[in-house]
């Protein structure tokens, strides 16, 4: 056998191995016959990897080629992601948290001229959410300004944006589409345009969401994605920065990702510019190798080409994955409607209510389609039990659940210590009552595509029985 024949046989056996061993990771809408669910014994994760033998074959094939570092697979996946969203370009990195760090760091680049965000400038964000939406603001020397969350949409109270704004000091807005629910894009965009602010959308939990029939992640200057296993696509680890329009921003983000270098050559490629030894930058001698000239204080945040190979397969499943999340959310909402006296349920931005026929909408004319990251349960203050009692019960019953990440972030130990060390390190607008309510009352269940109908039925039954026993 020659090398090509050997590789083909390895990949054939890889597919057979995957079919025999990874049945539990197949989509819930197309389960493997060997996948058995035993209520109370089989774990019901809140999220997880969903894949078939196609992804395993792609990973093994790329590994056999052994390029390893970001290469042709990475370039192809970047193009597919950008094309799916309809943005100018996507830049892969090693995590969604890194994507946020790269996007925020890019705003400090001297290449942005008078729009550059400088040390001590302010960035408006939201109090309740995941910490690495906010940490890059602090890590970059900027000042986060926290506005409150609405406890039903979980997104920003946009009426606080003007109160948060300080002329000449506020330079950007960075916030997430929480739990796969688009924030009020119209209000945020109008605010940013009015004051000439940068907008970064943390789209890590929201790939495939739509606002007025346009994908989230395409409204700001940049957006970010995560490909950690609980997210809408998985590369194992990984993330991306989506640049909506500006090629200048793409070059800056790539520079920060690739050690801060000025050169834009891909790995394994030299002299793309045609004048590798003809540059004179900084105080370096003319002709210094462009591959070793650094314009930013950067990082090494590239993923592996193997991960991108998996992503190329995964992105083809994205429409089905999104629909499965929508269907699973709807199934849980119908099943738990009888528990409305105990729980508040999440609503999409601009929705005013839910009926079995669908959502009702406000008079704004705007609508959202949520690619739900999870199913929120907010335990009402009048309920005869507390959120933590429900969470412990679900854990005993082997039903995965999560808090809304860090809750009210300003209550976290890291932010408490930061306030002691540097009282002006961040600013808070209002009393953050909504973020506190989220911290105290909200948890969420899974909606991910790996859930089967039997699992969803078990979730509904378990929660209903728990609530009704009081």
Among 314, 341, 369, identify where a domain stops: 314
Please check whether residues 230 and 358 belong to one and the same domain: no
Asked if residue 99 is part of any domain, the answer here is yes
pLDDT value, residue 55: 98
- Note down the domain range covering 297: 72-314
Q: Are 226 and 245 in contact (CB under 8 A)?
A: no
Asked if residue 39 is part of any domain, the answer here is no
Write the pLDDT tens digit of every residue in 352-408. 999 999 999 999 999 999 999 999 999 999 999 999 999 999 999 999 999 999 999
Among 253, 282, 314, identify where a domain stops: 314
Asked if residue 11 is part of any domain, the answer here is no
Please check whether residues 247 and 119 belong to one and the same domain: yes
Query: For the stretch 222-251, what's the b/e string if a residue is b when 16 or more beta carbons lie within 10 angstroms of its beta carbon?
Result: bbbbbbbbbbbbbbbbbbbbbbbebeebbb
For the record, the structure tokens of 61 come out as 């094939």
Catalytic-labelled residue, pool 22, 195, 231, 232: 231
Asked if residue 1 is part of any domain, the answer here is no
Please check whether residues 152 and 212 belong to one and the same domain: yes
Please check whether residues 165 and 264 belong to one and the same domain: yes
- How many independent structural domains does the chain possess? 2
Please check whether residues 327 and 218 belong to one and the same domain: no
Write the pLDDT tens digit of every residue in 257-291. 999 999 988 878 899 899 999 999 999 999 999 99
Please check whether residues 428 and 284 belong to one and the same domain: no
Please check whether residues 296 and 403 belong to one and the same domain: no
Please check whether residues 258 and 367 belong to one and the same domain: no
Please check whether residues 264 and 337 belong to one and the same domain: no
Please check whether residues 438 and 303 belong to one and the same domain: no
Please check whether residues 296 and 372 belong to one and the same domain: no
Please check whether residues 76 and 134 belong to one and the same domain: yes
Whether 231 is catalytic is yes
Domain of 224, CATH number, reads 3.40.640.10
Write the pLDDT tens digit of every residue in 113-133. 999 999 999 999 999 999 999
At 241, the pLDDT band (50, 70, 90 cuts) reads very high
The burial of 161, by beta-carbon neighbours within 10 Å (0-12 exposed, 13-18 middle, 19 or more buried), is given as buried
Query: For the stretch 111-136, what's the b/e string if a residue is b when 16 or more beta carbons lie within 10 angstroms of its beta carbon?
Result: ebeeeebeeebbbbbbbbbbebbbbb
CA distances from 188 to 66, 175, 231, 378 (A): 45, 10, 25, 26
């Amino acid at each position: 056998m020659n090398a090509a024949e050997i590789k083909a046989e390895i990949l054939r056996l890889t597919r057979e191995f995957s079919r025999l061993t990874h049945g539990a990771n197949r989509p819930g809408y197309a389960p493997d016959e060997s996948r058995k669910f035993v209520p109370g014994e089989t774990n019901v994760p809140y999220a997880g990897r969903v894949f078939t033998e196609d992804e395993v074959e792609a990973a093994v094939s790329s590994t056999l080629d052994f390029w390893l570092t970001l290469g042709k697979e990475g370039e192809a996946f970047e193009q597919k992601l950008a094309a799916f969203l309809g943005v100018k370009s996507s830049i892969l990195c090693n995590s969604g948290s890194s994507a946020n760090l790269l996007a925020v760091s890019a705003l400090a680049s001297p290449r942005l001229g008078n729009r550059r965000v400088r040390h001590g400038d302010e960035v408006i964000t939201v109090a309740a959410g995941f910490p690495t939406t906010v940490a890059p603001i602090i890590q970059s020397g900027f000042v986060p300004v926290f506005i409150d969350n609405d406890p039903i949409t979980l997104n920003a109270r946009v009426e606080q944006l003007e109160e948060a704004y300080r002329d000449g000091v506020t330079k950007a807005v960075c916030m997430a589409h929480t739990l796969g629910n688009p924030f009020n894009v119209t209000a945020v965009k109008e605010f940013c345009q009015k004051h000439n602010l940068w907008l970064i959308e943390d789209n890590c939990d929201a790939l495939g969401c739509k606002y007025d029939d346009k994908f989230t992640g395409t409204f700001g200057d940049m957006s970010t994605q995560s490909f950690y296993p609980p997210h809408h696509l998985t590369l194992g680890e990984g993330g991306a920065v989506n640049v909506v329009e500006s090629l200048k921003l793409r070059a800056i983000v790539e520079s920060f990702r690739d050690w801060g270098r000025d050169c834009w050559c891909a790995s394994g490629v030299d002299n793309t510019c045609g004048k590798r030894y003809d540059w004179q930058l900084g105080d370096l001698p003319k002709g210094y190798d462009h591959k070793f000239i650094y314009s930013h204080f950067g990082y090494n945040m590239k993923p592996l080409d193997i991960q991108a190979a998996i992503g190329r397969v995964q992105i083809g499943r994205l429409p089905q994955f999104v629909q499965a999340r929508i269907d699973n959310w709807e199934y849980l909402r119908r099943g738990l409607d009888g528990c409305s006296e105990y729980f508040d349920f999440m609503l999409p931005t601009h929705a005013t209510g839910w009926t079995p026929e669908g959502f009702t909408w406000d008079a704004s004319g705007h609508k959202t389609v949520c690619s739900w990251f999870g199913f929120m349960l907010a335990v009402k203050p009048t309920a005869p039990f507390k959120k933590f009692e429900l969470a412990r019960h679900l854990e005993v019953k082997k039903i995965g659940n999560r808090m809304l990440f860090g809750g009210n972030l300003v209550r976290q130990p890291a932010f408490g210590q930061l306030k002691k060390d540097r009282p002006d390190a961040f600013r808070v607008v209002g009393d953050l009552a909504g973020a506190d309510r989220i911290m105290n009352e909200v948890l969420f269940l899974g909606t991910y595509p790996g859930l089967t109908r039997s699992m969803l039925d078990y979730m509904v039954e378990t929660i209903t029985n728990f609530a009704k026993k009081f």
